Structures are given as C-alpha cells and as structure tokens.
Amino acid sequence: MTKHVDFQKTISGLLVLIEGVLKRDAYIRALFLFCNKAKDKLKLLYWSNPP
C-alpha cells in the first residue's frame, strides 16, 4: 500500500487497515510502517510472538 495514513488513527485503527485493506494477519511476526501525508512522520507497528 503506498497511500498515506491519517495519523489520528490509534493502534486498533491501524490493525483494521492491515487486516482489511492489506488482507494480512496483523498478529504475525512482521513490521508494518505507515507515513503521514507530508511524509515527514512515521508510525510503525510490530508484533513479536514469543519464541
């Protein structure tokens, strides 16, 4: 996905994007990176499953 994200979204809002738009399981061991419209800020979401 290459569009910007509304930075008022909470973690749960970003999870909805991951699972709904990207059709990915948000709870896998992966790094999801989001940028704002001006592309000067980043948010990342990382879920680490215990070994």
pLDDT tens for each residue of 5-36 = 888 989 899 999 899 988 988 888 889 999 99
Q: Is residue 15 part of a domain?
A: yes
Q: Is residue 1 part of a domain?
A: no
Range of the domain at 22: 7-46
Give the model's pLDDT for residue 40. 93
Consecutive H or E run containing 31: strand 30-35
Closest CA to 32 of 13, 40, 51: 13
Residue 9 in tokens: 């979204």
Query: Residue 34 CB: number of other CB atoms within 10 A?
Result: 19
CA dihedral (41, 7, 20, 2) in degrees, to 10, reads -40
Q: Is residue 14 part of a domain?
A: yes
Q: Is residue 13 part of a domain?
A: yes
- Say what the pTM is: 0.74
Assess whether pLDDT exceeds 80 at residue 49: no
When pLDDT is cut at 50, 70 and 90, the band that residue 1 belongs to is: low
Give the model's pLDDT for residue 4. 86
What is the number of domains present in the chain? 1
